[in-house]
Amino acid sequence: MATIDVLLPVKNGVDFLAESLDSLKAQSFKDWRVLVLDHGSDDGSAEMAARYHEADPRIELHSFPEADGLSGLLNKGLEISDCRYVMRHDADDVCYPERMALSLAAFEQDRQCVAIGGQADVINAAGAPIGDMSMPIGRLRVGAASLFRNPIAHPTAMLDFAQVQKAGIRYGSDFMGVFAPEQQMVVKNLAEDYFLFGQLAVQGKCNNVPHKLIKYRWHGNNVSARRFDDQMKVSLQISRYLSRAFAQMKQQPYFDPAPFCNHGGILFELEGRSDFSAEFERMAASVRGGFEGSPEVERELRFRKIADTRNSALLLWRYFLFQSREVPETGEWNAIRSWLIRRLPGKRRMSVLPEGVPA
């Protein structure tokens, strides 16, 4: 049994797979096994993984062409894992050499965590730097953030496998046990990672290290680029589901998180409204009550307060005051900027229905 099993799903990812595998082989921590989960590739990805296995038996190829979406594929990987920690890695991303060591050290420092992620550099298809991915730090902060966005960058995540098994954690399914089976949400793809980490985070079981763990590759074939609108709709459904679960678990009043979400770096339009100040006060009271108040939670609420208006001038002014006092994170400035851009004539807007109204 290796200390770490790495779940590496791939479907026609041969262009970047070698660099991805090489970055795992270069880890300073050596007690690992890579489970390449092939989802029916026909571009040579499986053959490349097989060649890597011949050179290094720690790299294994497992083919699951029948798996039901990414959730199903990753769950197949969990079923064949045998380790202390299970780590996610994508076929087009690159690990920094200390990634495993830093994540393991974080688990040693905080045994209450089930999942730990981190920060990332963002690169393009050619490997050139184009930005960074900054994620929240602190279990309470990550928990509060999870109601409005995915608080963990999936390709940076590592999970305590014993806790995964004990709690029956699987991608796409509800493992919180708050709702009756017939009321539980299922997420097969598009935001299966958010559903998993969100459930853990609202229970205070997730954190991020302050270190950059990977180079995250952004290119035209990312699911987030190809199916953006669909992903945003699913993400909002998850936020609303998590808010209901959070309210029930913490015995707090329910609130609709939609006005304050920044999934994909956007703010949603709801019913053509521009003032959500009353909704913010209700939301903030529930979040403070559920997480018992902390500087971490207040940092999250200070950003969400910006979004209680859709007046463009006020929105921009509030953001600049905010960023003069705080270090902005991924998706925060993009949410404000994209709202302003979408006010321009001819630009497409992203609107959602109020909760309870069928699509």
Structure tokens at 72: 């199903």
Q: What is the pLDDT of residue 348?
A: 65
Q: What is the DSSP letter of 267?
A: P
Q: What is the pLDDT of residue 200?
A: 98
| pLDDT, tens digit only, all 359 positions of the chain | 999 999 999 999 999 999 999 999 999 999 999 999 999 999 999 999 999 999 999 999 999 999 998 999 999 999 999 999 999 999 999 999 999 999 999 999 999 999 999 999 999 999 999 999 999 999 999 999 999 999 999 999 999 999 999 999 999 999 999 999 999 999 988 899 999 999 999 999 999 999 999 999 998 665 555 688 899 999 999 999 999 999 999 999 999 999 999 999 999 988 778 999 999 999 999 999 999 878 999 999 999 999 999 999 999 999 999 999 999 998 999 999 999 998 887 666 666 656 654 33
Report yes or no: 336 and 181 within 8 Å, Cβ to Cβ. no
For residue 129, how many C-alpha atoms fall within 13 Å in the half-sphere facing its CB? 6
Instruction: Decide: helix, strand or coil at residue 3.
Output: strand
Q: What is the pLDDT of residue 342?
A: 86
Report yes or no: 7 and 76 within 8 Å, Cβ to Cβ. no
Closest CA to 265 of 323, 317, 334, 313: 334
Share of the chain residues as helix, strand and coil, in percent rounded to the nearest 5: 45, 20, 40
In degrees, rounded to 5, the angle at the alpha carbon of residue 193 between the alpha carbons of residues 328 and 340 is 40
Could you report how far apart the first and last alpha carbons of the chain are, in Å? 48
Q: What is the pLDDT of residue 349?
A: 61
Backbone angles phi, psi at 275, to 5 degrees: -125, 115
pTM here is: 0.93
Q: What is the pLDDT of residue 189?
A: 84
246 CB-near residues (< 8 Å, 6+ apart):
147, 202, 252, 286, 290
Instruction: Decide: helix, strand or coil at residue 187.
Output: coil
Which helix or strand (DSSP H or E) is residue 209 part of? Answer: strand 206-217
Backbone angles phi, psi at 2, to 5 degrees: -80, 155
The runs of H, that is alpha helices, within the chain are 14-25, 45-55, 69-79, 99-109, 139-145, 161-167, 192-201, 223-226, 228-250, 277-290, 295-306, 312-323, 332-342
The tokens 């017939």 sit on which residue?
A: 182
CA of 179: how far to CAs of 13, 242, 296, in Å? 38, 11, 28
- Amino acid symbol at 26: A
Distance CA 275, CA 332 (A): 19
269 strand-pairing partners: 351
Q: Is 42 left (phi over 0), alpha (psi -120 to 50) or beta?
A: alpha
352 strand-pairing partners: 270
CA dihedral 119, 37, 176, 103 (to 10 degrees): -30
Distance CA 134, CA 327 (A): 10
208 CB-near residues (< 8 Å, 6+ apart):
116, 117, 118, 119, 135, 136, 137, 142, 151, 152, 153, 156
17 CB-near residues (< 8 Å, 6+ apart):
10, 45, 48, 49, 91, 92
Residue 285 CA from chain centroid, whole number = 25
Structure tokens at 202: 């609202």
